[in-house]
Chains A and B, each alone.
Chain A
Amino acid sequence: MTQPVLALNNIRKSFGGVVAIEDFSLTIEPGEIVALVGDNGAGKSTLIKIISGVHAPSSGNIVIEGESISMSSATKAREHGIEVVYQDLALADQQSVYMNLFLGREVTRGPFGQLDRKTMIAETQRLVDELDVRIPSPHATIRDLSGGQRQGIAIARATRWAKKLILLDEPTAALGVAETAKVEKIVAGLKARNIGVLIISHSLDQVFRLSDRICVLRRGKQIGIRKTADTDKNEIVSMITGLSAA
């Protein structure tokens, strides 16, 4: 029996007197894609920040592969194998693709700690081939790439370093139709790597195309979790809005 890559148990977060998240629980299995949906202000961003270590929960615990952990920073979260693809992608635009893939975790060699560009370039090439992110070359500068290619690089970077879980925050919000399809293909491909994926998206079509389960938040409350195969858009919409489907 495999353990869930991530288990959130009774997470609660309040800022001063304002409750942002109340009693949230969720498990994500290896190779599973879970979508987190809800209106603006439902608490999705707060939840992402808790999982990525930016905020500590007020109460409740986070368990990664059976080990209860406390995360005080994004660095801690990365050490636990959690990678985040931020909405702004967090790429250094004037640097090459391969330097971005290894940003902050550059491979070095030799007594003076020289950058091992050869290794980084080779691994970048292998990774973009594997994920089918089509870029001119690992040497290409980020700012010369299209929106879809950049998103692909951000996901490739998360894939390179994530051992347990990737958080995707609105991965296709800024993309056109063709590029969205491309990015969705890359995300779907992550299942084979046996890591969990938690995706935030405003597009219900996308959520239904990609996810195994859907978790709905409304005003900080967890409304419910549905298997994507057993539900439909009407049910999810009524869960998001709080109005029963007519």
Chain B
Amino acid sequence: MTAPQSAAPTTPSLLARLSGANLQQYVVYVGFLAIFLFFAVVLRDSGFLTQRNLINIILQTAPVTIMAIGLVFALSAGEIDLSIGSTVAVSALGGAMAMAAFPQAALLAGIGAGLGMGLLVGLVNGALVAYLRLPSFLVTLATMGLFAGVARSLTQLRSIPVTDPVFTGLFGSGNLFGIPSLVIWTIAAVAIGHFIFRQTKYGAHVLATGDNARAAMVTGIKVPRVRLSVFLISGAMAGLAGLLYSGRLQAAKYTLGETDLMTVIAAVIVGGTLLNGGKGSIIGALVGSLMMGMLNNGLILMGLSVSDQMIVRGLIILIAVAVSLRETSR
């Protein structure tokens, strides 16, 4: 057979492979590239491609990425955590209040209280879901409202300054060898999250639980414990996101994280994690988060009004989610 003839069959097979069962896994990468290229061309004179702006996108996205990692665990186990936005607020406020109360050990108090609040919310959610078998959608819908209320009543809607320089350096404006701390947090969380999710027995048990809880149970996986644990992870990650927000803004307020829930869910779903469990991707969630951040950044640079930004963002998320989920319905 001559070369041109033999080249012909490879094209359809490649196409078939791309449009086949795995399309969903690539959507986020294709979407990311497409949006990046679009902004790179359209906003070439508006500073989109400057190093400063690109790093800014990563910095601004860090809390969303961290929350997205937690949500990948929850969704993969067949659960959902809607309370992450409220958890961010109570954790940031809890951390800031603890730092104010214990100025001589501000760093430890802030981290302990912030992560502690996140774990506490996770424990409440997880215990109700895992041991009372209440649906996580309703449990976390309720705790979302509950902890949003707690966040408001903690400080009577006032914001609390966060001034400890070590804390704000560690969780905000600091850097190590010239790498901003928020970038380091993002890389560390993604690397550890990916390792646990993909490489350990625990990750496999999370996926099995979300895929077929009965099968997981009869093969000896402690399903209630797995369910509890994913809420603890989700809560702790939201708590960490709260610390990152308060470190970067040097203040904690009840509004922190308020509008992040939809962004995080969109980032995770676009990144190839199934809404009903059994399949997830930490790397996909990272790229999904960056895509959302880039979208925000680009739409602002394009000079769209806030209302137009919301409409465009909503439409793009809708398209991305539709393409991601299309393949699974068979």
Contact = CB atoms under 8 A, between A and B. Distances in A.
15 contacts: A90-B215, A92-B208, A94-B274, A95-B278, A99-B208, A103-B215, A104-B205, A104-B219, A104-B220, A106-B204, A108-B200, A112-B199, A113-B201, A115-B203, A144-B21
B208 A93 contact: no
Contacts of B199: 112, 114-115
A99 B279 CA distance: 13
A88 B215 CA distance: 9
Contacts of B195: 112
Interface of A: 74-75, 78, 84, 86, 88-95, 99, 103-106, 108, 112-115, 144
A115 B200 contact: yes
B211 interface: yes
Interface SS of chain B: helix, strand, loop or mixed? helix
B212 interface: yes
B212 A90 contact: yes
Nearest to A117: B199
B189 to A, nearest CB: 17
B325 interface: no
Contacts of B214: 88, 90
B179 interface: no
Interface string B251-285: 00000000000000000000000100011000000
B218 interface: yes
B286 interface: no
A166 B221 CA distance: 20
Interface in B168-223: 195, 199-201, 203-205, 207-208, 211-212, 214-216, 218-221
Contact of A95 (B21, B211, B221): B211
Nearest to A154: B215
B200 A91 contact: no
B208 A95 contact: yes
Nearest to A79: B220
A88 B212 CA distance: 11
Contacts of B279: 94
Contacts of A94: 207, 211, 274, 278-279
